[in-house]
Structure 1
Amino acid sequence: MDQQQIEAAARALEAGQLVAFPTETVYGLGADAENPQAVAAIYAAKGRPQDHPVIVHLAPEASLDYWACDIPQEAHALAEAFWPGPLTMILKRAANIPDAVSGGQDTVGLRCPSHPVALALLRAFKGGKGGVAAPSANKFGHVSPTLAQHVRDEFEHEGSVAMVLDGGAAQVGIESTIVDLSRLATHGPVLLRPGHISAEAIAAVIDRLPAAPDAAAPRASGTLESHYAPHTPVAMQERAVLVQTLDALHAASRKVALIHYSDLPPTHAAQRLPATPEGFAHALYAALRAMDGHGADVILVEAPPQDGAWLGVNDRLRRAAHGSTGIVHGLLNKQPGI
Structure 2
Amino acid sequence: MSTVYDCGHPRERKDGLAAAASAVRAGDLVVIPTDTVYGIGADAFSLSAVHDLLAAKGRGSDMPVGVLVGSWSTIDGLVLSVPHQARRLIEAFWPGDLSLVLHHAPSLSWDLGRTKGTVMVRMPLHPVAIELLRETGPMAVSSANRSGLPPASTVDEARGQLGESVRVYLDGGPSGDPVPSTIVDLTGDEPVMLREGAVSMAAVSEALGGVEVARPGG
TM-score normalised per structure 2:
0.90
What does residue 182 of structure 1 align with?
Answer: 187
CA distance in 1, matches of 2:177, 2:97: 8
What does residue 162 of structure 1 align with?
Answer: 167
CA distance in 2, matches of 1:96, 1:13: 22
Q: How does 1:1-338 map to 2 (within 5 A)?
A: 1=7, 2-125=13-136, 130-156=137-163, 159-183=164-188, 185=189, 188-206=190-208, 207-214=210-217
Question: Which string of whole-angstrom CA distances, capped at 9 and with x for unpartnered residues, describes residues 199-247 of structure 1?
Answer: 10000111213211129xxxxxxxxxxxxxxxxxxxxxxxxxxxxxxxx
Count of aligned positions: 206
CA distance in 1, matches of 2:99, 2:114: 16
CA distance in 1, matches of 2:217, 2:84: 23
Identical aligned pairs, as a percentage? 39
Closer, same or farther: CA 193–61 of 1 in aligned 2, 3 Å: closer
4+ runs deviating over 3 angstroms: none
- Relative contact order (alpha carbons < 8 A, sep ≥ 6): 1 or 2 greater? 2
Letter in 2 for 1:63: T
Closer, same or farther: CA 117–193 of 1 in aligned 2, 3 Å: same
Letter in 1 for 2:75: L
CA contact (8 A) 1:33 1:132 kept: yes
| Runs of at least 5 residues in structure 1 that lack an aligned partner in the other structure | 216-338
More helix by share: 1
CA distance in 1, matches of 2:116, 2:176: 31
Letter in 1 for 2:122: R
Larger Rg: 1
Letter in 2 for 1:108: V
- Partner SS state of residue 165, structure 1: strand
CA distance in 1, matches of 2:53, 2:113: 13
**1:161: how far off?**
0.4
Question: Which string of whole-angstrom CA distances, capped at 9 and with x for unpartnered residues, describes residues 275-300 of structure 1?
Answer: xxxxxxxxxxxxxxxxxxxxxxxxxx
Question: Which string of whole-angstrom CA distances, capped at 9 and with x for unpartnered residues, describes residues 31-87 of structure 1?
Answer: 000111110001111111212111100002542121111321110111111000011
